[in-house]
Amino acid sequence: MPATSYLRAKLGDHSIGKAAFTMPTTVYAALFTADPTDAGSLTNEVTGGSYARVPITTAMGAFSLTTGIATLTTDVNFPTPTANWGTVSYLALIDALTVGNMLYKEAIPLPRIIVSGGRAVRLKPGLFQIRLI
């Protein structure tokens, strides 16, 4: 899952002593119907019909010193949709429950049409990984 330009700049500045980066207290998973781009645009985030970002901080494993990878380790469940959410094609990690800054984003390999009363979106362990190179 690639980092957004926002996160790359924050981590880069922090690592060379230019500006401190304050760690988010909670990171949330969010669903999108179009590419939020490297800039992390929130424009195409799903809205309405019981949709809400879900906390993911405790569901992620720590980065491995050997591989530089952090992996989703437990199920993460979005609410059951009570309206049509459209075709969900991107997943992102964001540093706030509402608005906030996008940290990572990735296309979903098999986009899914989410309909009212349909099956809730569930992120399964190992579904995605974050790699720092």
pLDDT exceeds 70 at position 133: no
pLDDT exceeds 90 at position 132: no
Could you count the other beta carbons within 10 Å of the beta carbon of residue 121? 22
Segments forming the whole domain that contains residue 15: 5-131
CA 2 from chain center: how many Å?
A: 10
* 59: three-class secondary structure by DSSP: helix
* pLDDT score recorded for residue 43: 96
Q: What angle do CA 74, 98, 125 make, to 5 degrees?
A: 10
Average pLDDT, stretch 77-106?
97
Reported pTM: 0.94
pLDDT exceeds 90 at position 91: yes
Average pLDDT, stretch 80-85?
97
Pick from 38, 54, 56, 10: nearest CA to 105 = 38
Average pLDDT, stretch 80-103?
97
Average pLDDT, stretch 77-102?
97
Q: Which residue type does 27 have?
A: V
Return the CA Rg of the chain: 15
- Banded model confidence at residue 95, pLDDT cuts 50, 70, 90: very high
Look over the chain and give the mean of its residue pLDDT values, rounded to a whole number: 95
**Total domains, the chain:** 1
